[in-house]
Amino acid sequence: MKNLLWPVISLIVILVVTVVVYFYSTGYRVNTIKKEITPTGMIAVKSIPDGAQVYLEGSLTTATNGTIQSLKPGSYNLKIVKNGYAPWEKNVEVFEQLVTDITGILVSKTPRLEPLTSTGARTPVISPTLTKIAYFTKDGNDPGVWVFPLGGNLQVNLFKTSPSVILEDTSRIIYSNGESLDWSPDEKEILVKMKDKSFFLVDLQSGNFEATTSAQAIKESWLSEVTKKRELFLSKLSVPEELLKIAKDQQTVWSPDEKKFLYKEEENGVINYKIYDLEKPLPIGEKTSYTTLSLKKTDKEPKVYWYNDSFHLILVEGEIEKEKKGTIYLIRIDGTNKTEIYNNTLYSDIAFPTPSGDKIVVLSSFKSDGQTDLYAIGIR
């Protein structure tokens, strides 16, 4: 009998410990006052850059990247603070037995402005994957149409990359005087529109180019390609009928991760900038729909771009064309943490994020002759 007692006791102990570990790991805690086991949740807090202090309901609780455990379900004020950066603050929902993941994008209080080009840049257009910028330049050696690679990962040093000419001016045709540029969806071609309304199609892989009288057909073909891809994606999802048309609209702007889309909706003289999230399942604490920004119809509308993480937007505000000055903000898709990035000289309302998100590319000028160039605003 004694020989059986210890194995039984050991088995019971193992079972009890297993049960305790399971309940603890899934968020249950013992309430010693009410003498009951209550479910709790956690917040996992990250920041970019990391090493920031995390305050919960005003009390210093942890540092990024860390977790805050044993929280009763409910709403909590979370603040992320790092010396030299604008504070990040948001009310965060905690759910029983779940982990709410939060990533705060911190913006430097003293952003750095560094030139990417020095021989002129005009009418820059970013590629669909946000990895290359095409632009016109009067470069003294090779004027024409150039492409600047932004790099596709965190390891690429933006200031060591080299732009290349894809269409060089000739004695007969001054391509650098062109009017606009369009990328193909696969980024293998660029359509160049000249001021005399003529067009040239450049094959970036072979380096060949040709004049074309089928520019409209080419654009429609590219649009059809994107539309078919979008429709196939949407056909696999359960999207409310009233939003399906909006999702396919040409004016709708899709996020870099292709899981969210931005659209405008006017109601009672107010323009609402809305986000719809198609991600399944949704991250804990996130919602399917947000109204990021609301403006009166009479207000000057900002230029809006997606930030590379697909959870933030870039806003460019101001009378830039008239004043040659504007303000750039970063705002979360839920409308929180509208943070100023830059407030100074701008010659265009473009604001392109680099793939790593640590810089915003703008068009500006600090020369008396008015030559515009591409500059990178380092936000961290």
What are 257-270's pLDDT values in tens digits?
999 999 999 988 99
Residue 290 backbone phi and psi in degrees, to 5: -135, 150
Residue 378 has pLDDT above 90, yes or no: yes
DSSP three-state, residue 96: coil
Is residue 175 within 8 Å of residue 145, measured between CB atoms? yes
Confidence of residue 210 (pLDDT cuts 50, 70, 90): very high
Q: Tell me the Cα Rg of the chain.
A: 26
Q: Could you count the other beta carbons within 10 Å of the beta carbon of residue 109?
A: 12
Confidence of residue 4 (pLDDT cuts 50, 70, 90): low
| Between 211 and 153, the higher pLDDT residue | 211
| Between 321 and 34, the higher pLDDT residue | 321
Confidence of residue 238 (pLDDT cuts 50, 70, 90): confident
The mean-pLDDT minimum among 29-33, 129-133, 238-242, 276-280 falls in 29-33
Residue type, 48: I
| Between 23 and 181, the higher pLDDT residue | 181
Q: What pTM was computed for the model?
A: 0.85
| Between 140 and 291, the higher pLDDT residue | 291
Residue 16 has pLDDT above 60, yes or no: no
Residue 353 has pLDDT above 80, yes or no: yes
- CATH code for 2-105? 2.60.40
Residue 79 has pLDDT above 70, yes or no: yes
Residue 279 backbone phi and psi in degrees, to 5: -65, 135
Question: Looking at residues 244-265, what average pLDDT do you find?
Answer: 93
DSSP three-state, residue 234: helix
Q: What does DSSP assign to residue 301?
A: P
How much of the chain exceeds pLDDT 90, in percent?
Answer: 73
Residue 37 has pLDDT above 70, yes or no: no
Range(s) of the chain covered by CATH 2.60.40: 2-105
The mean-pLDDT minimum among 179-183, 270-274, 276-280 falls in 276-280
pLDDT at 163: 86
Residue 10 has pLDDT above 80, yes or no: no
How much of the chain exceeds pLDDT 70, in percent?
Answer: 87
pLDDT at 237: 85
